[in-house]
Structure 1
Amino acid sequence: MSWLFVLLQQLRQFVIPLLALLVFGRGDRNELWPLIGVGALVLLSVWSYFTYRYGVTADSLVVRSGLLERSLRVIPFARIHNVAVQQSLLHRLFGVAEVRLESAGGTKPEAEMRVLKYADAIALEALVRHRGLQVAPSQAESANEPSPVLLAMSTAEVLRHGLVSNRGMVVLGAGAAALAQFSPKLMPQMLKRWGEALFGYGDSHGYGIPDYVLVGLSLAVLLVVVLRLFSMVLALLQYHGFRLVEHGRRLTVERGLLARWRTSASRRRIQAWTLRESQMHRLLRRRSLEIDTAAREEGNGQQRALRELAPIATPDACDALIEHLLPRAGWAALDWRALPASNWWRLFAPHLPWLLLATGLLCLRVGSWGLLALLWLPWAVLLSRQQARRMAWACNAELVAVRGGWWSRHWRFAEIDKLQALRLSRSPLDRRCGTATLSLDTAGSGAMAPPLQIRFLPEAQAQALYARLAHELAKRPLRW
């Protein structure tokens, strides 16, 4: 039944044109075009099934596809960075899985097996792991080595993650954007009708301004509660049964309630780390730990690479994970060096033009009430001051790290052996203030991860740190 899964994936790509033909078609002939299109997709799916083969050699995976236009790909096990095993609900009903093999970079998987028996998919993952390590004797792994669970999330922790992540707002924004693309006037008309109904109901009952304010606040609170509950449901679907398992030198994550994901990556493929702590995290006494690998995200936003080691965990659990996976880095003993807090105004300055522009537009729209936007100024000043006080950096023989943020805090760090480039830059404002920015680049870079750079560093310290890291990089081999 492999062709069925290929057909369903192709139908998802052509569903809109087929529906358009079905809805807007006129006459007997035109009404047959959707059926002809589905038939053509069925033939392509069956053709793909009969022309796709893969095999295993001593040190590589060989994938052959196509009949008229043939393709042969040879993928060494040592070059495979990530192994992703995915099961949709339909996959689970048939007892099969989809396997994707990732190497560094690229916008597509190196190999993609749409339908394998689940046992064969797990066996292929283990084969890649063991064969890949056989070609690197220094990292040899015993097949009988136990696989300890480094982190397991209970249902309560999954619900906390949904509460913190607020994925419901993201889904709502994506839905609103999709509706705007489908019909630009649909959302404004809906809001207008709801507003007219609400104000009409209020006028008929003699509501005043305080009543409208109370109703508005109540609706806002209700919306926040509904979105948070929706986020918790989404987290339960995506992160139920989350387990981080260590297979020798390889990390594997399993998660999902209806659909199941199993993603695997070698520890030495990790390029950079991000530790996050939002205000909601602090209220719950939790943090999250993410990593960057060299594999990239797909264009449709589908996560292929292993990214989250701890979607949510206690600070002690996150620190323990870092200490376990980076035993020589000395994470707990880092000597953090604060950056000059007097540079807070440089964090505040970018907010000022936008605030003045928004205030001017609001004044044109609603008159003097638009001046209320200036109430943002004290908060922006406080935020900039607190951020400047928390900004710091640390560097030892193995690790370089930066920290920043205040309301939402982050720690960003990488092993010195994983650095690929250094850049020391000075803007005109830097030259005026006697500071510099040191940027550190690795092979992997998360789309939403903060940059690994040290800002507002005094020039002398920046030059010294740049020279020190450049000397270390020159004499050390790059650990890809």
Structure 2
Amino acid sequence: MTAAPPVQDEPRRRLHPLSPVLHGAKSIAVVVAALSWQTLSQVGFEKFALVVLVLAVGVVVFSLIGWLTTGYHVVGRELRISDGLLWRRNRAIPLERLQAVELRRPLLAQLTGLAELRLEVVGGGKTEAPLAYLTVRDAAALRERLLALAGRTPSVLPSVSNEAEPEVPAPPMERPLFRVSNHDLLVSQLLTPQAIFLPIGLAFVIMQFVLEAEWTFIGIASTFTAMAGVLLQPIRRVLQDWDFRLARDPEGRLMVRYGLLETRSQVVPLHRVQTVTITWPLLWRPRGWMHLRLDVAGFAGEPGSDSKRSDRLLPVGDFATARTLVWEVLPGTDLAQLATSPPPARARWLHPFALRYYGAGLTPEVFISRWGLLTREMSVVPYARLQSVRVVQGPLQRRLGLATVYADTAGGRSGQARDRDLAEAWALAEQLAERARLARNAASARS
């Protein structure tokens, strides 16, 4: 048997030369924001500007050194990244663990024609090795190459010599699925508790200002800070989900693009989707609107965010659109045919007002659970994605002979059949475990 020829190492590559400028600009903005107006009034404008200039030069020099000592290259099925001056750090990311690569373009990157890549890997608690910054063309080509290598496509494993550049793959033809109306997006965020109660808060502040003889600086600052915090959430959602688009590429992956001040482009392999969650907010229901969320294995989300390991599928849309997208993501799953059964009547002691909105059910493809009174939610979990099944009883549940069944996935969320009869809960858990085993065996046979 002849041995396979060794894969030649490609030359180590640097990030774009403007990378230190963009990194430095962000750091300088943080430094200026940290220097308060009180500092400006104490030292004067000239000294304040001199301090900012010295710090800016230091930040740019530090960023330049970081750029000179940072490089990356693909070796076989690994992405290797080296950085650091005093403490050299070399990371090798096996591409078999790669789940998704996100192309992100903050505002400064958009103005300079650059982008950054963020890698999501199996078991990662945070984004691995962000490459900031590359040209948009280079970033897109590297993303396609890494995803192809992660999928073990033989055709993308050419021998790369030190003189030759790796071939840039042609952009794949995409099939558009859906594009969110920006008008609907704006209206949906006006129909949120923050936007509804904002006029009441403004009226209260104005009334207090009129009635009070004088306001302290701390009182004014804390009031406006609190109001800005309330208003910031819907504004952030509009900026994040602006021009939201979905498409499918020829390999069946989901292409997601969105953002205004910071544009993002994600490639989601559908075999990594763990759960689809459908949510009906109270103020959206008169319009028949809902939003859909994916839980994807390997997506770490933003640090400190409440959406870790989850991703958008539909920021706002009607039932027909949601039904189409669920079918695209989970073939064979019809949102209109997902029936559930309620918990027993004695569970009303635990849910006196919302019992009729709780339920669970099984179809040949997925496990369904629903809950919620004001905000109603439904979770759809494919059997092949189940990692474990648990039956849990709390103190009150034990007295009522009830239990909750948890269907855990690698995406971090669980399908939950809440407050079922104890015998039914054990029977349901046994069915889920058996269906998960059969679904995994069938998936292994197909692959």
User: Is the pair's TM-score, using the shorter chain for normalization, greater than 0.5?
Assistant: yes
Which structure dedicates a bigger proportion of its chain to helix?
1
1:30-58 per-residue CA deviation (whole Å, 9 max, x = no partner) reads 99655443332222100111111111234
Q: CA deviation at 1:305?
A: 6.1
> For each residue in 1:352-377, what CA deviation from the matched residue of structure 2 results, as whole angstroms up to 9, or x when unmatched?
xxxxxxxxxxxxxxxxxxxxxxxxxx
**Aligned 1:28-427 pairs, distance under 5 A:** 34-135=52-153, 146-165=173-192, 194-195=207-208, 197-198=210-211, 236-247=238-249, 248-294=251-297, 295-301=299-305, 307-329=311-333, 331-347=335-351, 384-385=352-353, 387-427=354-394
Pick one of 437, 449, 463 that aligns with 2:404: 437
Q: Which ranges in structure 2 are unaligned for 5 or more consecutive residues?
A: 1-17, 156-168, 214-226
Moved more, 30-39 or 119-128: 30-39
In structure 1, C-alpha distance between the alignment counterparts of 2:68 and 2:313, rounded to whole Å: 39
Q: C-alpha separation between the residues in 2 aligned to 1:171 and 1:80?
A: 43
| Residue 24 of structure 2: aligned partner | 7
Q: Which residue of 2 aligns with 1:364?
A: none
Partner of 2:163: none
> Does the Cα contact within 8 Å between 2:274 and 2:409 map onto a contact in 1?
yes
Does residue 470 in structure 1 map to residue 433 in structure 2?
Answer: yes
Query: Share of identical aligned residues, percent?
Result: 26
State the distance in 1 between where 2:82 and 2:198 align. Answer: 38
Deviation at 1:309, TM superposition (A): 0.7
Task: Kindly state the Cα deviation for residue 73 of structure 1 after the two structures are TM-superposed.
Answer: 1.6
- Give, in whole Å, the separation in 2 of the partners of 1:20 and 1:47: 31
Q: Which one is further off, 48-57 or 293-302?
A: 293-302
Question: How big is the shift at 1:85?
Answer: 1.6
Which range moves more in the overlay, 118-127 or 297-306?
A: 297-306
Q: Which amino acid aligns with 1:42?
A: V
1:315 Cα deviation (Å)?
0.5
Deviation of 1:242 after TM superposition, in Å, equals 1.4
Mark the CA change 1:167 to 1:86 in structure 2 (over 3 Å): closer, same or farther. farther
Q: Distance in 1 between matches of 2:49 and 2:209?
A: 42
* Residue 456 (structure 1) shift: 1.4
Letter in 2 for 1:324: E
The one-letter amino acid paired with 1:90 is L
Q: Secondary structure at the match of 1:54?
A: strand
CA distance in 1, matches of 2:392, 2:240: 41
Equivalent position amino acid for 1:466 in 2:
A
* RMSD (Å) for aligned C-alpha atoms: 3.7
Residue 26 of structure 1, CA deviation: 5.7
User: Using a 3 Å threshold, how does the CA distance of structure 1 residues 147 and 110 change in structure 2: closer, same or farther?
Assistant: same
In 2, Cα distance between equivalents of 1:335 and 1:304: 29
Q: CA–CA distance in 2 between the matches of 1:232 and 1:298? A: 17
Q: CA deviation at 1:411?
A: 0.4
* TM-score, L = length of structure 2: 0.76
Q: CA deviation at 1:286?
A: 1.4
Structure number with the higher strand fraction is 2
- 1:271 touches 1:442 (CA, 8 Å); kept in 2? yes
Instruction: Give the aligned partner of residue 460 of structure 1.
Output: 423
User: Aligned pair in 2 of structure 1 residues 306, 129: CA closer, same or farther (>3 Å)?
Assistant: farther
Alpha-carbon contact 2:326-2:334 (below 8 Å) kept: no
SS in 2 for 1:452: strand
Cα distance per residue 1:122-165 (max 9 Å; x no partner): 2222222322223599xxxx978631111111232222332345
Please list every run of 5 or more consecutive structure 1 residues that lacks an aligned counterpart in the other structure: 177-186, 201-223, 348-383
Task: Please state how far the C-alpha of 1:94 moved relative to its aligned partner.
Answer: 0.9
